[in-house]
Chains A and B, each alone.
Chain A
Amino acid sequence: QKEVEQDPGPLSVPEGAIVSLNCTYSNSAFQYFMWYRQYSRKGPELLMYTYSSGNKEDGRFTAQVDKSSKYISLFIRDSQPSDSATYLCAMSLSDSGNTPLVFGKGTRLSVIA
C-alpha cells in the first residue's frame, strides 16, 4: 500500500461547480498537509497547507483534514476554467528540511466553460 493514495481522475466538471479532491494516507505520524497545483508543462506551486485537523479557507479554496480517518480534502467553490490543472496532495512528518514531502499521484481536473 502506498503511503498516500489519490484518485488520478480525470475529473471533468462544468464551470461554477463545487469540486472535491481527496487523498487518504496510511502513516498516522504525518502532521503537515499540503495541496499543490500544477498546470500543464509547469512546476507544481503551493496552493494551501495546514498542520491541524479541521478546515482552512482561502478564497474559493478550502482544505480539510481529518486525522482520525487519515483523509484530506480540497474543495473548490465556483470553479473556473483557469482551475483546470493537476492537483497534488502532499504531506510530511515535520516542517524541517530533512523529512521530505510524500506526494500523491495527482488528480487531473478539467473545468468546462
Chain B
Amino acid sequence: NAGVTQTPKFQVLKTGQSMTLQCAQDMNHNSMYWYRQDPGMGLRLIYYSASEGTTDKGEVPNGYNVSRLNKREFSLRLESAAPSQTSVYFCAGAQTGTQETQYFGPGTRLLVL
C-alpha cells in the first residue's frame, strides 16, 4: 500500500517547455486534488476531481491542465512552463464524505528557468 505517489520528485524545465506531473493513489479515493505551495502563499488549489470523469478549476488554474485518467490517476500538465510556475506541487486524495481527511503525496519540486 503505497498511498499517494508522485513522479517526478524534482524537475528543472526551461521556459516554454512542457511536462506532465503524475499522481497515483491506491487508497480507493474518489476525490483527487492538485495544489501548489509557494513561500508565504500557503497551499493553493489548482484543479480537483470530485469523482472519476469530472474535473474542476481551483483558485489558480491558469497555465495548467489536468486529466483524471481513471480512479487511481490524476495528472497535471504544464503546456508552456513559465518561471512563475516554479513551485512545489502536491497531489492529494480523499474519500467522498471524508474530504477533510486528505492524504497528500510527497510533492514534486519544479524549477522553471
Contacts and interface: CB of A to CB of B under 8 A. Distances in A.
Interface in A95-113: 95-101, 103-106
Interface residues of B, number: 30
**Interface residue tally on A, bucketed by range:** 20 to 34
A66 interface: no
Q: Which of B41, B43, B101 has the most CB of A within 10 A?
A: B43
A96 B50 contact: yes
B31 interface: yes
A103 B50 contact: no
Contact of A96 (B45, B92, B96, B102): B96
A101 B102 contact: yes
A10 interface: no
Given A92-B99, A97-B94, A43 B107 contact: yes
Given A43-B106, A46-B102, A97 B90 contact: no
Contacts of B48: 97-98, 100
A41 B45 CA distance: 19
B90 A95 contact: no
A88 B90 CA distance: 14
B104 interface: yes
Summarize A's interface: helix, strand, loop or mixed: loop
A49 B101 contact: yes
Contacts of A99: 99
Given A96-B97, A97-B30, A88 B102 contact: no
Contact of A92 (B41, B42, B100): B100
B74 interface: no
Q: Which of B44, B97, B103, B104 has the most CB of A within 10 A?
A: B104
Interface in A58-104: 88, 90, 92, 94-101, 103-104
